[in-house]
Structure 1
Amino acid sequence: MYRNSQSQPRNNNNNNNKLDNFDRYENNYRILIVQSAWNYDSSDALAKDVYLTLKNQYHIKESNICIYQITQAIDLPYTAQHLINAAKNKGQPFDVVICIGVIVSRYEQMVNTVNQYLMKITLETGTPIINGILSGKTNGNMELFYDNGKRYDLINLGCYWAKVAMEMAGIHST
């Protein structure tokens, strides 16, 4: 097992957000980050934010964070599914997967397709996949994104996805 009693969130003062009370010990969750290289500047900034938040705030060991970069965002579902299954077959399953991609051209159709397959793979494999797929309105190094019609700033999205990943890893480990 990858988890020990110190890696589980504490529930102090009846606080419903268990993540606020993580111990200052290393966590043994195994986390996979799959990043699309499309719109590299933005996707890489997001992946680095996720990685640093997992490592520094949630104390995930560097050796337990696997980062895999692919070229196209449309290949995120297949890559995630393949790596989840390969890790399970080796007896080293991931507790959670975070897929990160920034899609501009043909964004509505592609985002919908990727989202649909990520959910399907989550249900088929039993491994939570955090959907970090963003669609932008412009090319280049974007600072503004739209996800399901909702507007987001690039700042803090990586930290948010790391938090959601820890919540889902906790659920997956029970």
Structure 2
Amino acid sequence: MAPTPEALTAERILEATEEVLRRHGPAKATVVDVARALGVSHGSVYRHFRTKAALREAVTKRWLDRTSEALAGIVAEAGRDPEARLRAWLLALFDAKRHKAGDDPELFATYTTLAGENSDAVDEHLDDLTGQLAEIVRSGVDAGAFTSADPLTTARAVFHATARFHDPGYHREWERPGVQDEFEAVVDLLTRGLRA
């Protein structure tokens, strides 16, 4: 049974768009395909997303936000030692990116293409991630565990220093033997440098 226009939500459209992208890939997926998958007219989809580009940006943002939301839980663990929180956050970021690349390579390739088209969504995601890191660094400074004159600058440095373990451009390296040890060595080096 096709959803009524009132029952059609942006979230349902984004879910269907993900499936259409998985099936057809970014080059061939159309708004008509999304509408067909939902059993509605393409005009119904356009009432929620004014253009195909807006729909693609929204689905990209949704995909990126999943990672940000998962990491926000670690940032919120105020009772946890700041160094342990920093280590857990970096590991969770690495694991999330590694799973996205390894669990569904076709969808990962699709989203990599979409991320390239939607630099605003990617920039917002990167700002959110560095903001989360800055909050952890700031809490470490406040607790006397870390030293940093500017937690945001320090967070950006940590983020860039660990890029090999979360930047999608490195995804082929993430399953190499020894990559986990290399990750831990980088994180050990960074945390030693942050200690007060």
Does TM, normalized by the shorter one, top 0.5?
no
Q: Which has the higher helix share?
A: 2
Q: Which has the higher strand share?
A: 1
For normalisation by structure 1, the TM-score amounts to: 0.38
Larger radius of gyration: 2
